[in-house]
Every structure is written in structure tokens, then in C-alpha cells.
Amino acid sequence: MAGDVRLGGGQLVNLPRGRELLGFGGVGLLAYAVDLALFTWLRGPAGLEPLTAKTISFVAGGSVAYVGNAFGTYRATRPRGLRPYAVFFAVNAAGALVQLLCLTISHYGLGFTSQRADTVSGAGIGMAIATVLRFWGTRTLVFHNEGRVGSWTG
């Protein structure tokens, strides 16, 4: 199988595949675009309050990400039912909290209060750390493969 490597003792190890990373990243970009476009529309022409608009756009973007990963990136290991969908949203909510934590530390803890600093800490550094968390959580907790041995995700 592509991505599988035999170690000296014959142990089969499944390494993260480039296709998996590209699929996850591509789906993530699409989900981000849906989230951003819907949030912008809900805040602007629709006139919703910020938290209501963000909640709706987050659920829509997360749904796009789940469907894209379930039927694309992880179609071979896709579990059935509502549980994986709920776990996927929990993983994504944890990623969102990481982004908010980075923004909070930068803005309130370190005193970097400019719009640029907020963007760098929340959408830059926070997004990078959250993406690693989301990849790990999605791969390990939602679309895990029971037969995988020695994977970097355990």
C-alpha cells in the first residue's frame, strides 16, 4: 500500500501520506472559504449579530469540512452515524479555542493590541497550531484506521 514502509524487523508502518495532507488541506481551505463568505454575508446584508453570524458560519464551514473529509480524504476509513460528526465538531471547536487562546495571550497578556498583531496571533500563529491539532484529531479520533500500526498518531 502507498505510504506503508517495512522496518528492519518486518513491522509494517503506515506513514502520513502526501495525498492525505493535500486532501485535508484542500478541504480545509474550502471550509474556510465557506465560513468566511457566509460570516461576511450574515454580518453585512443579513444584518446578524457577530456571535450569531459566527456560530452559523462555523457550523456551515465545519459541515463542509466533515463532508469533504468523510467522502474525500478519509473515504476508506469513514465511520457511519452521528458520533463521528459530533467528534469532528468537538475537534474543530478545540481548534477554535486554540486560536482564541493565542489571540487572548497576545492581545491581553503581551499587550500587542494592533489589528495586525491580532491577525498574526489569531489567524496566523493560532491557525497554524489549530490546524496541527485538527489534523491529529481528525485523523486519530474521527477517521482512524484500526489496522494502522506504528503511526505517528499512535
Burial class (CB in 10 A: 0-12, 13-18, 19+), 70: buried
Residues 6+ away with beta carbon under 8 Å from 98: 126, 129, 130, 133
Angle (nearest 5°) at CA 34 between 97 and 37: 100
pLDDT of residue 121: 83
Confidence at residue 15, expressed as pLDDT on a 0 to 100 scale = 45
Q: What is the Cα–Cα distance from 58 to 153, expressed in whole angstroms?
A: 26
pLDDT value for 146: 53
Q: Which residues of the chain have pLDDT under 50?
A: 1-8, 11-13, 15, 147-154
83, containing H or E segment: helix 82-104
0.75 exceeded by pTM: no
